[in-house]
Structure 1
Amino acid sequence: MQKHYYFPQGGHPPQTDLLTDRAVFTEAYAVIPKGVMRDIVTSYLPFWTNTRLWVLSRPLSGFAETFSQYIMEVGPSGGSDRPETDPRAEGVLFVVDGEFRLTIGGRSHLMQPGGYAYIPPGTEWSLHNEGDTATRFHWIRKAYEKVDGLPVPEPIVTNEREITPSPMPGTDGRWATTRFVDPSDMRHDMHVTIVTFEPGGVIPFMETHVMEHGLYVLEGKAVYRLNTDWVEVEAGDYMWLRAFCPQACYAGGPGKFRYLLYKDVNRHMTLGGPGRFA
């Protein structure tokens, strides 16, 4: 079955539009709605050609500190032979539109919508759009936390079409997660998954936990509980949560509600001086 993924449309609203929108940044969470992702808020990166990006999150002291997340837009003949300049950074790519050629450690892969790639730190890779239309993908980056006695994970390239979602216990499949990495593999210190709710599906309790989150809505709509607020979200919206921000949701229908989820996992809490968390 063909999957559908929302991606930014760019451009600018007309002068006749109202200013009011749903963007909010609080001490516990942020919501960046799709209407915010306009041409004027794009960024650029060194060593990338014919490429722009929307930065959805970046480490902020006192907020979410473990990761950054971009939506990349690479035009025809665009790309990079030196995409990552930080040797500590691991990355995940998830394709939402178009296609590109990804080369990791000398192996070439044609990446299409639904495509997922995990790129370990210090890995040589390149990315090129060989087509005649733009391609768009999420790029999630994290400084890998090495553990003595655990090797660094190998690269992973797959597509969500090749993975059977795992239903949450007791939900009759109304709430399921597409996992690209084995949760018991302690080499991995972050997970990027796709969470799917059938219409009317619900997270039936207020999740309150140590993981930081980035949630990009790929499809559908829902009412999401963030800290003390109920917030309406739809395809193209992004939610950014600090650790221990309470969260829950009701999927609104009429179709599936699906989002790309980042969380940090499988590591001790970093200890520092008095009052220091990370």
Structure 2
Amino acid sequence: MTDGAGPQYYSPTGGLPGQTELLTSRAVVTQGYTVIPRGVLRDIVTSVLPGWTSARTWILNRPVSGGATTFAQYLVELGPGGGSTDPEPQPEVEGFLFVLAGTVSVILDGAAHDLAPGGFAFVPPGTDWSIRAGDRAATFQWIRKRYEPLDGHPPHAVVGNEREIEPASMPETNGTWRTTRMLAPDDLSFDMHVNVVTFSPGAVIPFAETHVMEHGLYVLEGKAVYRLNDDWVEVEAGDYLSLRAFCPQACYAGGPGEFRYLLYKDVNRHVTL
């Protein structure tokens, strides 16, 4: 967990379960969705990425047959001073960073930005950028997507902190279901949105959303019961869900505190035929 004021975001600690613990977990992979519970984010499933120092990565999503196909999502842990001067190997790929713990310095085309927990950066494709942790460990989410260009709408970098953005109340919910939009939803230069979604205890998504957008959903805090296809799945802080297009989805927030998650979705483009 992070320290300091404001919302707390879950980040994994690695390690291994004891030899006396049961194997049963909530991990499941189906044709419509994948659930990766926080208990499986262990040391032995991390990757060491080329071009990074003092870093390890849990790869939460990659395009796979029968699953979400538009994006990759990483959870990256940096040791003090760790990072990369050339993090993105594909110039056609855009990125979105969201800091969970610690602080990082991100340089975008020569401009430095210090990001604390809740801090984010949208990195357009082809950007010269680097990232470095401060004097203690840092953890962040990294979403990667091949950008779909649109004439007249060039992408541009966006840097901020979700804690400084006023969340929008969803219609007819009296503020119990709120969305913090970190990328402008009506800006066609973006072909993805990344939001923080917040539910008060007991609040619900009151219908089974069934839509073309794929999702990467990382639970930042709290717990809930999610309805995916015909299944009820319990989720908690640190769990990750990958939802393919048209997977029906709804949830009940369980309390006692707020239920919050980081949400990716692909938007604003025609279906390529």
Give TM class, smaller chain. Answer: over 0.9
- Residue 112 of structure 1 deviates from its aligned partner by 0.5
Write the letter of the residue equivalent to 1:73: E
Q: 1:105 aligns with which of 102, 106, 109?
A: 109
| Residues 102, 134 of structure 2: 8 Å contact kept | no
Residue 56 of structure 2 aligns with an amino acid whose one-letter code is: R
Candidates 56, 63, 66, aligned match of 1:59: 63
CA distance in 1, matches of 2:148, 2:100: 28
State percent identity of aligned pairs: 64
Q: Which residue of the other structure, out of 86, 96, 101, is the alignment partner of 2:100?
A: 96
Question: Which residue among 144, 154, 157 is the counterpart of 2:156?
Answer: 154
Q: Which runs of 5+ in 2 are unaligned?
A: none
1:166 alignment partner, one of 165, 168, 176 = 168
Map of 1:58-137 to 2, 5 A cutoff? 58-131=62-135, 133-137=136-140
Superposed CA deviations along residues 104-153 of structure 1, whole A, max 9, x for unmatched, are 0101111100001000000000111131x2100000000000122322x2
Matched, 1:13 2:17: yes
Match of residue 182 from structure 1: 184
Show the counterpart of 2:147: 144
AA at the equivalent of 1:154: H
Alpha-carbon distance in 2 for matches of 1:47, 1:101: 17
Distance in 1 separating the partners of 2:127 and 2:178: 32
CA distance in 2: counterparts of 1:149 and 1:135, whole angstroms: 37
Equivalent of residue 247 in structure 1, options 243, 246, 249: 249
Q: Deviations over 1:247-278 (max 9, x none)?
A: 0000000000000000000000010xxxxxxx
Give unmatched runs, 5+ long, in structure 1: 272-278
State the alpha-carbon separation in 2 of the partners of residues 234 and 186 from structure 1.
33
> Counterpart in 2 of 1:50?
54
Amino acid corresponding to residue 169 of structure 1 in structure 2: P
Q: Which residue of 2 aligns with 1:28?
A: 32
Matches of 2:30 and 2:204 in 1, distance apart?
Answer: 24
Name the count of aligned residue pairs: 269
- CA-atom RMSD in angstroms: 0.8
Give CA-to-partner distance per residue, 1:90-114, whole Å, 9 cap, x none: 0000000000111101011111000
TM-score normalised by L of structure 2: 0.97
- Is the 2:95–2:125 Cα contact (8 Å) retained in structure 1? yes
What's the TM-score, normalizing by structure 1? 0.95
**Structure 1 residue 44 displacement after superposition:** 1.3
